[in-house]
Amino acid sequence: EAMSAFQYLLVYNSISFTFAAMAAATIFLWFGRSEVAPPYRTALVISGLVTAIAAYHYFRIFQSWEAAFLFENGIVSNTGYAFNDAYRYVDWLLTVPLLLIELVLVMRLSREETVSKATRLGVAAALMVILGYPGEIADSNGTRALWGFLSTIPFAYIVYELFSGLSRAIETQPPQVRSLLKQARLLTFASWGFYPIVYMAPFAGLDGPTANTTIQIGYTIADLVAKVGLGILIYIIAIRKSEIEM
Amino acid sequence: EAMSAFQYLLVYNSISFTFAAMAAATIFLWFGRSEVAPPYRTALVISGLVTAIAAYHYFRIFQSWEAAFLFENGIVSNTGYAFNDAYRYVDWLLTVPLLLIELVLVMRLSREETVSKATRLGVAAALMVILGYPGEIADSNGTRALWGFLSTIPFAYIVYELFSGLSRAIETQPPQVRSLLKQARLLTFASWGFYPIVYMAPFAGLDGPTANTTIQIGYTIADLVAKVGLGILIYIIAIRKSEIEM
Ligand SMILES: CC1=C(/C=C/C(C)=C/C=C/C(C)=C/C=O)C(C)(C)CCC1
Ligand SMILES: CC1=C(/C=C/C(C)=C/C=C/C(C)=C/C=O)C(C)(C)CCC1
């Protein structure tokens, strides 16, 4: 069945919106760098890198969407060029390790612990993304389920490491920022947990253009929360901690 | 009926003009950041983000206008690709909350009040824009009126909150900048009030290309005042206040 004009435009405009939001967040975070105390600058640089990389990929996703569908006289048809699902996975391959490094830095562990945690989490993140991709492009729900399951193993490990690590780190923080840090943790888990749920859309009986639209919109919302939402929270935390320490 | 060459070119050139104005304002506001005292820098960064986001959308609107109409041998015809009305709404979805945050920051309320006001106004702004869109693309004036009415409810709430909040904030400002702040308030209300008036163009009996041209030019003028005009006023206010405090 063909994609409806509504579905086509909803994805089209959501992707354009997200490109603009990612680019704007990048500039905001990088300008914010000079407003905070030196120990928090790296966090803002990295948050801005995450949104910058995402802005690049949303630009490409936009172009790929335009190339894949023809919207003429109110009717959507396929051009024969495939929409490139891989941009999101390539984006995650870069941004998930960066987000993890940021969270590890926030924990302020010893140097050895930082390096070993960052390495283990980075490898797990790469595995998670690489194992998820064959399922994303699979035609059969069985194949999708299999790769999704494999990808969930490193995902569970990441969630466990982060949760226990972050909980301990939050205890050692000044009381004024503890609730903000808890919000950042909540936002991270809620948005990360959203990705595998979106991935499962085809299992809910959705198919064809409806499944595709749901997945595109779902990942887009998750990206906005996980990247822009977290970036703004990290900016606020950095400003507060700078005030306390200065 | 077909669009006249005059109408086509008027919109075409106005959009190009506005792209250039928004881009120029962005650079001016961001360079201005290092000319003002630290407490006013965020206001300039955000003003510049608003014009940057608008520049992006005017660029896309321009491309969409070119794609939608063919202007050949002095005659304008439709290409079959729809002009994407949504770019303006997507732009507002990002820029109206940013402008509101800026105005709330200018009020210098307590931290809790700032967060609660910014949240409530942000939600109201999103509702206003989302409820307005189905009316904008509706073919019947009845549908347009219905969604326009629904959109006016959150709009009225925003205007009320801003007016009462800004009036109180202005009282506490140094006398040298009070009249400038009153100008900023006037400019905000006059330009914001212009959007729903433009939206009502089809109710005045305008239709087809004439209605479309009127709406495009109307929103473009409103955007120039609300974004570039306000940005420059905020720059002047920030410079004055920096002088007073240093
Ligand atoms: C568990 C799981 C997945 C998890 C994806 C996640 C958790 C992505 C996170 C992305 C982020 C946070 C990007 C922001 O920068 C996949 C790959 C969908 C495949 C199905 C199983
Ligand atoms: C009340 C109302 C509207 C109000 C729009 C406004 C107030 C837009 C403001 C935009 C700004 C300020 C952009 C600049 O950044 C709509 C949506 C036209 C629909 C009809 C009812």
Per-residue pLDDT of chain B (246 residues; tens, 9 = 90+): 789 999 999 999 999 999 999 999 999 999 999 999 988 899 999 999 999 999 999 999 999 999 999 999 999 999 999 999 999 999 999 999 999 988 888 777 788 888 888 899 999 999 999 999 999 999 899 999 999 999 999 999 999 988 888 788 888 888 888 888 888 888 988 999 999 999 999 998 887 899 999 999 999 999 999 999 999 999 999 999 899 876
d(CA B147, CA B55): 27
Cross-chain residue pair B53–A24, CB shorter than 8 Å: yes
**Segment B106-130, tens digit of pLDDT:** 777 788 888 888 899 999 999 999 9
Contact with chain A for residue B49, Cβ under 8 A: yes
Cross-chain residue pair B94–A24, CB shorter than 8 Å: yes
Q: Which of B234, B233, B145, B156 is nearest to B193 (CA)?
A: B156
Q: Which of B4, B21, B51, B18 is nearest to B217 (CA)?
A: B18
Contact assessment for residue B26 and residue B55, using Cβ atoms and an 8 Å cutoff: yes
* pTM of this structure: 0.93
Contact with chain A for residue B52, Cβ under 8 A: yes
Query: Among A51, A92, A103, which is best to mutate for testing ligand 1, by the most ligand atoms less than 8 A from CB?
Result: A92
Looking at beta carbons, which residues of chain A come within 8 Å of B87? 13, 16
Number of neighbours of residue A73 by Cβ within 10 angstroms: 11
Looking at beta carbons, which residues of chain A come within 8 Å of B59? none
Nearest CA in chain A to B81: A72
ipTM here: 0.92
Number of neighbours of residue A206 by Cβ within 10 angstroms: 15
Number of neighbours of residue A165 by Cβ within 10 angstroms: 18
What torsion do the CA atoms of B124, B129, B134, B136 make, to the nearest 10 degrees?
140
Nearest atom (ligand 2) to Cα of B95? 15
**Most A-contacting residue of B40, B59, B90 (CB-CB within 10 A), to test interface:** B90
Q: Name residue A3's amino acid.
A: M
**Residues A80-96: what's their mean pLDDT?**
95
Q: Name residue A12's amino acid.
A: Y
Contact assessment for residue A20 and residue B94, using Cβ atoms and an 8 Å cutoff: yes
Contact with chain A for residue B53, Cβ under 8 A: yes
**Ligand 1 neighbourhood includes A226 CB (under 6 angstroms):** yes
